[in-house]
Amino acid sequence: MSRSTRVHTDARYTCTVEPGRTVQATGSLDGVSPEGACSGLSNPRITELVKYDDGEQSSILYDQGTTVRTAGVLDVTLSGRVVEGRGKGKTARRDVLLALPQQLPTECLSSGLRGNNGQAQLVIQP
């Protein structure tokens, strides 16, 4: 059963900002997936604010998403564009591999997912 689902994620990144130069960054994603379900999301409207250690920021709007469930993991891909800050106007893609939730499916349906961990890669096109 799908329903409107609130999405929040905190992330840490190591970013290549130019050849040979990396900076640490944190990201905070917030938004909604109007047709979210325990197995994934669709039609997301999610924003991410990425704060780089060098003082720069990027505000990303994700408006497309897919979820594929295979071999005990969820592969979530979000696509969108940078709307403000570093990389403004460029496309962005965020891929996340998540372990399947440890909750029983009935818990997910009633209370939602309380949290999960995974590996994320964010690419802002040059």
CA quadruple 10, 99, 33, 6: dihedral sign = negative
Least confident of 14-28, 53-67, 112-126: 112-126
Tell me how far apart the alpha carbons of residues 48 and 62 are, in angstroms, rounded to a whole number. 8
Amino acid at 99: A
Q: Count of H helices and E strands in the chain?
A: 1, 7
Confidence class of residue 70 from pLDDT cuts 50, 70 and 90? confident
59 pLDDT more than 80:
yes
